[in-house]
Amino acid sequence: MTAASTTHLVLIPSYNPGTKVYETVSTARQHWNPVWVVVDGSTDGTAEGLQALAAQDTGLRVIVLSSNQGKGAAVLHGLEQAAMAGFSHVLTMDSDGQHPPERIPAFMAESSRQPAAMILGVPVFDASAPGLRVQGRRISNWWANLETLWAGIGDSLFGFRVYPVEALRRVMRTQPWMRHFDFDPEAVVRLCWRGVRPVNLPAPVRYYHPEEGGVSHFRYLRDNMLLTWMHARLLIGFLLRLPVLLARRALGRF
């Protein structure tokens, strides 16, 4: 069994993911120790199933929130617990099987080499990826790179990534956003503004169909409206910070 890391942990926010979560968590545990799951008010019975797994595995911890609060809120809860336990970095990944657990060691190793950076997964899509989702993320990526003066964000939406715990906690404590689907892109933009450098690594992604156990909570209209509002406020923040960002770029610090 892999020795437990005292600095880096895998953090998996989970909301009604269906049975795929058990495969996701078990495979993540094969590649890393420890793994924490934050159950975000799930009502599909997976909280109890995960707790049963954790009872047999000291490298797995399951944190159950009493109500659904959103992905970002679940991650923040995990961050606070991780900080209290002395961890410096978390690798976040989705619970629905889309993200590649076999890439965990490589991402953690890169984070250990560059602890001040955030290690961002850049998705490598296969034929299972919905064309509308692939095309739509290009728009969000363009805006995220504009808002950071092209600091090097390879993909703003892909949630398989390693964050420095304290940097992300400081970002999330200073404003009320980033608690739902807007978490991933807003996190990388605001961390870039604070000087946390993005490092990009490829990661394969797979979309499962419902008959394969796939569960999606993405709602096209609702979530794209949320992203539009997010980029509107980020653009305002970018314009207010532009003189500072330009000065940092000129000094080679951004």
Span 186-204, pLDDT tens digits: 999 999 999 999 999 999 9
Mean pLDDT of 73-99: 97
Is pTM beyond 0.85 here? yes
Which pLDDT belongs to residue 226?
83
For the chain, the average pLDDT equals 91
User: Please, are residues 238 and 147 in contact by the beta-carbon 8 Å criterion?
Assistant: yes
Using alpha carbons, list the distances in angstroms from residue 250 to 99, 145, 151, 220, 246.
37, 17, 13, 39, 6
Binned at pLDDT 50, 70 and 90, residue 109 comes out as very high
Please check whether residue 32 lies inside any domain of the structure.
yes
Please check whether residue 175 lies inside any domain of the structure.
yes
Please check whether residue 2 lies inside any domain of the structure.
no
Mean pLDDT of 72-88: 97
Please check whether residue 3 lies inside any domain of the structure.
no
Domain containing 163 equals 8-250
pLDDT tens per residue, range 3-19: 899 999 999 999 999 99
Which pLDDT belongs to residue 61?
98
Mean pLDDT of 26-41: 98
Please check whether residue 1 lies inside any domain of the structure.
no
**Cα–Cα distance for residue pair 121/99, rounded to 1 Å:** 9
Which pLDDT belongs to residue 79?
98
Asked if pLDDT for residue 160 goes beyond 80, the answer is: yes
Please check whether residue 120 lies inside any domain of the structure.
yes
Asked if pLDDT for residue 86 goes beyond 60, the answer is: yes
CATH code, domain carrying 212: 3.90.550.10
Mean pLDDT of 135-152: 91
Which pLDDT belongs to residue 131?
63
The structural domain count of the chain equals 1
- Output the CA torsion sign for 146, 69, 16, 58: positive
Which pLDDT belongs to residue 221?
67
> What percentage of the chain reaches a pLDDT higher than 70?
90
Binned at pLDDT 50, 70 and 90, residue 208 comes out as low
Please check whether residue 27 lies inside any domain of the structure.
yes
Please check whether residue 40 lies inside any domain of the structure.
yes
